[in-house]
Amino acid sequence: MIRDPLYQLIWMSRPLMQAAEAAVERGLQGSGLTVRMRAVLEILHRNGDASVPELAARLEIKRQYVQVMVNETLQAGLTERRVNPRHKSSALVSLTDTGRALIADVLDREAVLVAQIGAGIDPAEAERALNVVQALTEKLKASVKE
């Protein structure tokens, strides 16, 4: 195994994301939400109405897959389509009152979990780690585009 801390940091991103997804799934039990539905609701909650292509850009995944995710939220009555004044054929997706209340509750519960698991971690260290991860993400994305 390579002992370089930067290499290890990059490769630890996978188990970190798997653990985070498992924690999110556990927190969603009984809510009727899937992890992917939650992702759509969170983006709409934080950024307001968006088209499917805008959601896809924020999630950094293919538009077709995001359409499937959005369809699930529409069917569950958590989102609705609205006329997009900027684009006739690409409707805006917006939260319903039910969707807004549900994602607010989910995010509140997740904030409690983050506070619990973050107990004892120096906020300055967490900020440094965040800066390193953001820089690595940008550099890796740039290296793929070259």
pLDDT per residue as tens digits for the range 14-35: 999 999 999 999 999 999 999 9
> Read out DSSP for 43-62?
HHHHH--EEHHHHHHHHTS-
pLDDT tens digit string along 58-70? 999 999 999 999 9
Strand partners, 80: 94
Are 71 and 132 in contact, with CB atoms under 8 Å apart?
no
Give the long-range contacts of residues 93-102, CB within 8 A, separation 24 or more.
93/40, 93/44, 93/49, 93/50, 93/51, 93/52, 93/55, 94/44, 94/48, 94/49, 95/41, 95/44, 95/45, 99/41, 99/44, 99/73, 100/45, 102/31, 102/33, 102/41, 102/78
pLDDT tens digit string along 72-93? 999 999 999 999 888 878 899 9
Q: What percent of the chain has pLDDT over 70?
A: 99
Domain boundaries along the sequence of the chain: 5-145
* pLDDT score for 87: 81
Name the average pLDDT for the chain.
Answer: 94
Question: In which band, very low, low, confident or very high, does the pLDDT at 40 lie, cut at 50, 70 and 90?
Answer: very high
Question: In which band, very low, low, confident or very high, does the pLDDT at 1 lie, cut at 50, 70 and 90?
Answer: low
Q: Is the pLDDT of residue 146 over 90?
A: no
Beta pairing class for 79-82 and 50-51: unpaired
Is 5-145 a domain of CATH 1.10.10.10? Answer: yes
* pTM summary value: 0.87
